Structure 1
């Protein structure tokens, strides 16, 4: 397995356990000094903080992962997970087709940086807009 393939596997395993959610198991794929930044520049200390944040924003949320893109940098790999979120808002309304891109830096088999970007804030601000579910 190449270093890029290994980095993608680390990210894939992390996302699998994040969606259960099993923050303890997900944390095993992150370095102790991981830097996590969510939309709105919200910094998260750990996977438990991610789970807590998502509990406030969604009744539940999952990812429909469409692809991984990866590139080798000098001392690490950068992995992008791209796809769509689906789930339920706190009011019980279901949603799907909410675009997301997660960017990860993987060093020595551990995620050292995670940046989360998605359309949730826009969807919350303007729920009346009819959106195309996926493209």
Structure 2
């Protein structure tokens, strides 16, 4: 397995663990001193701090992880990009889906040292909606055909 493929596997496992609320499993992939930087410049150095801050924004969030790209930079760190969409439920109980995200990870010695997050949550309005009808159709939950 290449270093890039191994790094993608680490990121996938980290994001899957976060999505199911398993902070202990996710934390195994973080290096000491890791930093997670979210929209608005919000910085977290622990998953507990991230979870506490997220609780005021939504009840649940997870990712449809649709695409990965990985490369090794000039320092030997592996950079992994994860792209897809967010889904979940806001604090008013309104479900949402299809909100774009991009995460950029830096891994060193097989551990995440940095995560940078970009998404359209603020632009979508899903976090402040009080009813599904307040959400544009592209961000409403997917319905089976």
CA contact (8 A) 2:7 2:107 kept: yes
- Provide the secondary structure at the position in 2 that maps to 1:21: coil
Q: Distance in 2 between matches of 1:131 and 1:114?
A: 30
Structure 2: segments with no counterpart, 5+ residues: 141-145
Equivalent in the alignment of 1:57: 57
Listed one character per residue, the Cα deviations across residues 61-114 of structure 1 (whole Å, up to 9, x for unaligned) are 111110111111022111011010011111111111110111100110000110
Aligned residues: 134
State whether structure 2 residue 76 is matched by structure 1 residue 70: no
TM-score (norm 1): 0.91
Equivalent in the alignment of 1:28: 28
- Cα deviation, residue 126, structure 1: 7.8
Structure 1: segments with no counterpart, 5+ residues: none
State whether structure 2 residue 132 is matched by structure 1 residue 132: no
Q: Distance in 1 between matches of 2:62 and 2:51?
A: 12
- Cα deviation, residue 123, structure 1: 2.1
Pick closer, same or farther for the CA change 1:101–1:109 going to 2, 3 Å.
same
Q: Distance in 2 between matches of 1:36 and 1:59?
A: 20
Q: 1:35-50 to 2 correspondence within 5 Å?
A: 35-50=35-50
State whether structure 2 residue 129 is matched by structure 1 residue 123: no
Listed one character per residue, the Cα deviations across residues 15-36 of structure 1 (whole Å, up to 9, x for unaligned) are 1111111112211101011121
Q: Distance in 2 between matches of 1:89 and 1:129?
A: 11
CA contact (8 A) 1:79 1:105 kept: yes
- Cα deviation, residue 53, structure 1: 2.0
Equivalent in the alignment of 2:8: 8
TM-score (norm 2): 0.85
Q: Which entry has the higher C-alpha Rg, 1 or 2?
A: 2
The CA RMSD measured in Å over matched residues stands at 1.8
